[in-house]
Structure 1
Amino acid sequence: MQKPDAIVFFDLDGTLLNSQVEVLPSSIMAINKLHQNNIVAVLSTGRTADEVSGIMQKTSIDSIVGMNGQSVIYKGKKIYSNDIPLSVIKRMIDFSASKGIPLAFYSDYIRRVSAHDRATEQLYQCLHQTMPDIDSELYKKVAIQMLLLFCQNGEDQYPDHFPELQFIRNNPYCVDVFNRDGSKGNGITQLLSKLKFTDVPTYAFGDGFNDLEMFATVDHPIAMKNSVEPLKALAEFITDDNDHDGITKGLQKVGLI
């Protein structure tokens, strides 16, 4: 396997995607230049490979650290999966049902929800996505790497009951749930280790709380202007925001394009 000259990890929402949830033409051109320069571009996102297949096709990116690091696909090949144990999922279903909080079940290419209601509608409308079908028993058929809690508050009651999991709110409508040892940082570490790329320079662009571990893992963390303040504090520098060519300007500043 050819070793790249560098690897760049891109968060999606608020980073590679602009306020209209689209990839700027300037960013697509910049990523094409990365490919030409033997630099690998990798999506690093809370979303699944299925959710971002259109973005991957548009940008010619074929690698992803998905579901906040729970699944790693490199050049189309799955190289790491951090599955949630079946017993834990069953406990989560029972506990959430008692609280009236719907769930979603996520694997790389299949997503299902426990109910269709206002709580689930709000999230998928926000993401500009079609709501998944209902199937509360998906976990019995395929390995699940991430769950979603559809709630605008109330997640603080979960950690004491599920110490083996971590809970990260990425938007007003849901909370991402995955194994406690999972993060974008862990997913990146797994990628570099399994491919023997630990000596390859790494860069990352991000804007949110779920990018903190990623920034602590890569050599050169770059925050968007619209980032949360704790992430800016970890950044090597701050580029422009996701609506004003922040990706292109950042890549130019570090000399990758």
Structure 2
Amino acid sequence: MKLVAIDMDGTLLHTEKEISDHTVSAIQRLQKEGHAFIIATGRTLQDAKKIVSTAGIPADGYICANGAMIADRNGHILTEKHLGLHVATDIASWLHERQFYFHLATSEGIYTTDGTYQFFLDDLHAYAREKNDGGKMAAIIRDQADRQLNNMGVKMLPSPEDIPGYDFTAYKFLVLSLFPQKLQTIRTAWEPNPSIALTSSGRDNIELMPFDAEKGSGLTLMAKQLGVTPANTVAIGDNYNDLSMFKTAGLSIAMGNAEAEVKQYADTETADNDDNGVAKAIETHIFGIRQ
């Protein structure tokens, strides 16, 4: 038995944020042959479960919020790591004051604060002014963002200072900006904080999490839970938040669209997410099909 842990954005999902029929068929065969399919994502459990269940490939386990929350196939939480609500308030207030778009993944869904969407639009308009044909690019980015936010069902907080009044567990922040130098200010401010870990799932974002949350430790726990030896684990991903999983897995596979530095940490590479890279990786390394 093999355990295959698969990232979502940029990996399992193609550019339009869906799972191709080819990939669905490969994962269904994977499970029918007795192997385990695990989701390893920065997304929330609710979001991840909805996507794979709708596609007809419910997972055998879920590593969510970059390892801050781990659940079995039924969605029962096995373990979770969280940001204290006062720490979450400090981070949210800092981000809001500096006009970053962000959302907070919690046990009760995804939250943001009033006004942050306007920060995103302001960022987008400034980016478009710097680029040739920027208006067209901005329209495409906004359309993709709107669809994703609507699918996630983001909830509104009146202000960051209201966070301690909510009865939820805070897992992680996702912060978006099209300007790398703006994102760098977050690293400068928060990397020295020993209670916070920073990672990224793309060039346009930074994620702030509990210091001990990572996909790699989640993969170790899921393997133990399912009785799979470390040597029989496979990890497929595309970005920096997948590196701990690459270090843990018996076989690590980078997507063709992965960052160049991320590929250096992988054992091998597959096609990109718009060319059925996950399906091809499974066919090659699990089924032994030569591409």
Does structure 1 retain, via aligned residues, the 8 Å contact 2:14–2:273?
yes
The equivalent of 2:246 in structure 1 is: 215
> 1:81-131 deviations in whole A, cap 9, x for unaligned?
111122312322333344333542212441110124333567885453216
Work out whether 1:13 is the aligned partner of 2:9: yes
Which residue, out of 176, 180, 199, partners 2:207? 176
The equivalent of 2:154 in structure 1 is: 132
Work out whether 1:44 is the aligned partner of 2:40: yes
The equivalent of 1:143 in structure 2 is: 169
**Partners of 1:199 and 1:221 in 2: CA distance:** 12
**Partners of 1:228 and 1:97 in 2: CA distance:** 29
Gaps of at least 5 residues in structure 1 are none
In structure 2, the CA distance between the partners of 1:239 and 1:174, relative to structure 1 (3 Å rule), is: closer
Does structure 2 retain, via aligned residues, the 8 Å contact 1:7–1:200?
no
Q: Deviation at 1:53?
A: 3.1
**Partners of 1:75 and 1:92 in 2: CA distance:** 32
In structure 2, the CA distance between the partners of 1:243 and 1:70, relative to structure 1 (3 Å rule), is: same
SS state at 2:66 partner: helix
| Aligned length in residues | 253
> 1:13-72 deviations in whole A, cap 9, x for unaligned?
111111222111010000000111111111111111222333221142232111111111
User: Normalized against structure 1, the TM-score is what?
Assistant: 0.87
In structure 2, the CA distance between the partners of 1:28 and 1:195, relative to structure 1 (3 Å rule), is: closer
Moved more, 112-121 or 219-228: 112-121
For residues 96-245 of structure 1, the aligned pairs below 5 Å read: 96-116=95-115, 117-120=117-120, 125-127=143-145, 128-129=147-148, 130=150, 132-135=154-157, 136=160, 137-139=162-164, 140-151=166-177, 152=179, 153=182, 154-159=185-190, 162-171=193-202, 173-194=204-225, 197-198=228-229, 201-245=232-276
SS state at 1:80 partner: strand
**Partners of 2:223 and 2:142 in 1: CA distance:** 33
Does structure 2 retain, via aligned residues, the 8 Å contact 1:103–1:115?
no
Q: Deviation at 1:230?
A: 2.0
Moved more, 162-171 or 178-187: 162-171
Q: Deviation at 1:196?
A: 5.0
Q: Indicate the structure with greater helix content.
A: 2
SS state at 1:148 partner: strand
RMSD, matched Cα: 2.4
Q: Which amino acid aligns with 1:176?
A: E
**Partners of 1:191 and 1:99 in 2: CA distance:** 38
SS state at 2:89 partner: helix
Q: Which amino acid aligns with 1:83?
A: H
Q: Deviation at 1:203?
A: 0.4
Give the greater-gyration-radius structure (CA).
Answer: 2
In structure 2, the CA distance between the partners of 1:231 and 1:252, relative to structure 1 (3 Å rule), is: same
Does structure 2 retain, via aligned residues, the 8 Å contact 1:73–1:79?
yes
In structure 2, the CA distance between the partners of 1:110 and 1:251, relative to structure 1 (3 Å rule), is: same
Moved more, 198-207 or 242-251: 198-207
**Partners of 1:255 and 1:150 in 2: CA distance:** 36
Gaps of at least 5 residues in structure 2 are 125-140
Does structure 2 retain, via aligned residues, the 8 Å contact 1:104–1:112?
yes
SS state at 1:230 partner: helix
SS state at 1:111 partner: strand
**Partners of 2:142 and 2:2 in 1: CA distance:** 34
In structure 2, the CA distance between the partners of 1:222 and 1:133, relative to structure 1 (3 Å rule), is: same
> 1:160-203 deviations in whole A, cap 9, x for unaligned?
56331122233455421101221111221232345554457100
SS state at 1:106 partner: strand
**Partners of 1:83 and 1:72 in 2: CA distance:** 12
Q: Deviation at 1:220?
A: 0.6
In structure 2, the CA distance between the partners of 1:233 and 1:84, relative to structure 1 (3 Å rule), is: same
**Partners of 2:220 and 2:187 in 1: CA distance:** 29
SS state at 2:111 partner: strand
Q: Which amino acid aligns with 1:30?
A: A
